[in-house]
Every structure is written in C-alpha cells, then in structure tokens.
C-alpha cells in the first residue's frame, strides 16, 4: 500500500496524533517534534488519504460539474474557468457531460453525491421544480445558465433575453425588417429566452407577422447549415438571420456562401456567445459575447463560499455584450479580427 500516517509517526518517533496535529496545524506542538514530523512526511512523500478524511465527515475537496451538451468552445472555455478557480481554491473537478435525459442526469447526480462537497449544474432544460429538488437533495449547488426562481438556491445566469433583444434591435436599426431566426433546442430555456428577445424586439418594431421567419435548429454548425438552406428555399428571403449561437451562425454562413449569397450585403448574419471562432469567421460575425470563462470562475467562487458556510444563496446575472462586426455592417471593411 501507500504510506500512511502511521509510517510517518514511526519514522518521526512520535504518535500518530502528533503527526495529525502538526499536519493540520492544530494546537501547539514542540518545535523539535514538529520539524521531525515534517521531515518524515516529506521524506516519505506522505499525503493524507482523502477517503479516510471524508469518512470523518470532512470535505472531499471535490466539486461536481454536470453539463448538458454545449458547443465545443463554450464547453472548453467554461471548464477552463471552472478549473482555474477550483485549483486556486484547492478543489478538483469531477465532470459529467452530455446529460440530456433526466434519467441520466439523475443518475449522474446520484453518483457524484458524497464524492463532492458541492456541485455546479448547467441545465438549461431543467425546470424550476426539478432544480429545487436537486438543490434540496444535495448539499451546496450553484446553477449556471439555468432558469430557477427559488431564492434558496444559487444561480449564475447571463442575459439571454436581453442579449437577443439588443442584437435584434441592432438589425432593426440597420433597417432590416424581414429578420429570420434559427432557433435553438426547443426544450432548452436559454434558447427560448433568445427567441423571446428576438420576438419582442420584432413586435416592438411593429413586425408582428413572423410567419416563415422562424425555423427550428440546434446549437451546431450542421443545424445552422441546414436551417439556412431551408430559409433560402422559401419564396421570400429574409434580409437578416439571427442564429441560435455562433456555431449555428457559422453553419449558416457556409450555406449562404455556397448559394452565392453575399453577407452582409444581401443577408446579414448574427450569432450568440462570442466564441473565438466568431471573429475568424468570414465575414467576422456580429454576436453577443458571453464571458463564459469568467462565469465559470464566478460560479466556483459562489460555490466555495456556500461550502465553507460563508455567504447565502444568491442570484447573479452576468451582463453580455453586443459585438458588432462585419457580418451585419456593410462598409465596415472585412472586419479584420485584429483591427
């Protein structure tokens, strides 16, 4: 087996309690013994067994992360933020991805329980009732991009509705009236919010007939590609397309390009998320930037506070930012990624 506290005690010529005290910095221990213990631990390369620790009701040092299917860059950025902050706080991440089905979701939560001190849950498809149940059953939970109203749970969201509203208004201000939307997953609340923002902006501008302008989609390039083709097949072309997210927009861009449609001259295109690829698309993509890495960090900070008993449940809404680039603005040059 590995080296235990007993080995350290033996080598240092003290009892295991003394070793424990020194290593946990509890009470006072004579300096000479302290040094001996530290030396022995160092020499043996001793690390306390985390299993034994958590058995005593101590922290496990783990943070569970449950994610739905999200686009690659979003996923990557979010996890990077989580990991940066978690490492900084001495936690490690237990990750479980791609849980669309609530059955899988439940079992994932179940498996993580007891292994972690708290959980970060991104579940845009989760309802209020589910969420509260989750929060009640487990310990500390911070929801991200999940629409939960209960004041008893913590949430870090960003403004899907407002971002979409601003984006659509931007297009309306440019004179567009026939603006189409490629919608995201019908069951995902964030996609629904984005669609609402679009619809409200349109209605406020007096465009109430959205027939033929709303097409189903997903958060993928493939879906955007297909949806754009569908839009191109209609008898009345839109003059602008708002896509579910950046990947979706990039897929749409490809379809338009193949069809020989110039962007933004003939049809303007916009995305959502503000991933790196959005600025390397051609033309560079107008989008709504979501600081997802920073959101990840904030979620961990909130969770750690909760776990440590400091801080109450709170709801944060992180602002998003409209980035206007070449895909919607004629005459703005090619929209170089580095101006």
Partner DNA sequence: CTGTTAGCGCCTTCAT
Partner DNA sequence: ATGAAGGCGCTAACAG
Q: Could you list the residues that contact DNA (CB under 7 A)?
A: 1-2, 4-6, 14-18, 20-21, 23-24, 26-30, 33, 46-49, 52-53, 55-58
| Nearest CA-CA partner of 327 in 248, 264, 275 | 264
Count residues binding a copy of itself (CB under 8 A). 57
- Note whether 20 and 53 are within 8 A (CB): no
Q: Residue 36: CB partners within 8 Å, gap ≥ 6? A: 12, 13, 14
Q: H or E stretch including 46?
A: none
User: Nearer Cβ to a copy of itself, position 158 or 225?
Assistant: 225
Determine if 331 is a binding residue for a copy of itself (CB under 8 A).
no
Q: Which two tokens stand for residue 53?
A: 């620790």
Site string for a copy of itself, 162-201 (x = CB under 8 A): ----------------------------------------
Nearest to a copy of itself of 164, 220 (CB atom) = 220
| 251 lies in the site for a copy of itself, by CB under 8 A | yes
Contact segment (CB under 8 A) with a copy of itself among 18-26, 164-172, 250-258, 288-296 equals: 250-258
- 37 vs 19: CA distance, rounded Å: 6
CA gap 280, 261 in Å, rounded: 19
Minimum CB distance to DNA smaller for 57 or for 206: 57
- Partner in contact with 203, chosen from a copy of itself, DNA, none, beta carbon below 5 to 8 Å by kind: none
Beta strands in 3-138 (DSSP E): 62-66, 92-96, 118-122
Residue of 60, 160, 169, 327 that binds a copy of itself (CB under 8 A): 60
Q: How far apart are the first and last CA of the chain?
A: 59
List the single partner that 98 binds among a copy of itself, DNA, none, CB under 5 to 8 Å by kind. a copy of itself
Residue 74's nearest CA partner among 221, 216, 276 is 276
Q: What SS3 class is residue 223?
A: helix
For 42, other C-beta atoms within 10 Å of its C-beta total 10
Angle at 125 between CA 295 and CA 276, to 5 degrees: 40
In the bound complex, what is the minimum distance in angstroms from residue 62's beta carbon to a copy of itself? Answer: 7
Question: Which C-beta is closer to a copy of itself: that of 97 or that of 239?
Answer: 97
**Is residue 87 a contact residue for a copy of itself (CB under 8 A)?**
yes
- The count of other CB atoms within 10 Å of the CB of residue 161 is 17
From 174-182, 188-196, 204-212, 216-224, span contacting a copy of itself (CB under 8 A): 216-224
Give me 85's structure tokens.
């902050």
Q: Cis peptide leading into 264, omega within 30 of 0?
A: yes
Least Å distance, CB 4 to DNA, is 3
By C-alpha distance, which of 275, 268, 288, 125 is closest to 197?
A: 288
Q: Which is nearer to DNA, 101 or 137 (CB)?
A: 137
State how far the Cα of 66 lies from the Cα of 57, in Å rounded to an integer: 23
Residue closer to DNA by CB (options 54, 80) is 54
Q: Please, which of residues 105-144 interact with a copy of itself by CB under 8 A?
A: 108, 110-115
Please choose which of a copy of itself, DNA, none residue 254 contacts, taking the beta carbon within 5 to 8 angstroms, the exact cut-off set by kind: a copy of itself
**Minimum separation from the CB atom of position 126 to a copy of itself (A):** 19
Q: Which is nearer to DNA, 56 or 211 (CB)?
A: 56
> Which one of a copy of itself, DNA, none interacts with residue 92, CB within 5 to 8 A by kind?
a copy of itself
């Amino acid at each position: 087996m590995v080296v235990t506290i007993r080995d350290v005690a033996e080598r240092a010529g003290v009892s295991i309690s003394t070793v424990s005290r020194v290593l946990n910095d509890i009470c006072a221990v004579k300096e000479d013994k302290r040094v001996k213990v530290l030396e022995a631990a160092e020499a043996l390369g001793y690390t306390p067994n985390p299993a034994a620790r958590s058995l005593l009701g101590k922290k496990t040092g783990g943070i569970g992360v449950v994610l739905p299917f999200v686009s690659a860059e979003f996923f990557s950025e979010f996890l990077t933020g989580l990991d940066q902050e978690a490492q900084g706080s001495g936690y490690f991440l237990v990750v479980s991805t791609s849980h669309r089905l609530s059955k899988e979701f439940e079992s994932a939560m179940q498996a993580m329980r007891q292994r972690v001190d708290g959980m970060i849950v991104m579940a845009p498809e989760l309802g209020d009732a589910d969420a509260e149940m989750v929060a009640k059953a487990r310990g500390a939970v911070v929801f991200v991009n999940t629409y939960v109203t209960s004041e008893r749970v913590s949430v870090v969201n960003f403004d899907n509705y407002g971002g979409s509203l601003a984006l659509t208004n931007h297009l309306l201000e440019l004179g567009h009236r026939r603006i189409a939307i490629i919608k995201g997953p019908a069951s995902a609340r964030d996609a629904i919010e984005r669609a609402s923002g679009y619809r409200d902006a349109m209605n406020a501008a007096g465009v109430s007939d959205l027939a033929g302008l709303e097409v189903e989609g997903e958060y993928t390039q493939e879906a955007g590609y297909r949806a754009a083709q569908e839009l191109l097949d209609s008898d009345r072309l839109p003059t602008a397309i708002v896509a579910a997210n950046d990947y979706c927009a990039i897929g749409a861009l490809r379809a338009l390009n193949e069809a020989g449609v110039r962007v933004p001259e003939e049809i303007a295109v916009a995305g959502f998320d503000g991933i790196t690829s959005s600025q390397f698309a051609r033309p560079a993509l107008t989008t709504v930037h979501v600081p997802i890495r920073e959101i990840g960090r904030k979620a961990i900070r909130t969770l750690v506070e909760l776990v440590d008993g400091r801080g109450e449940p709170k709801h944060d809404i992180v602002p998003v930012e409209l980035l206007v680039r070449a895909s919607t603005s004629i005459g703005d040059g090619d929209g170089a990624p580095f101006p």
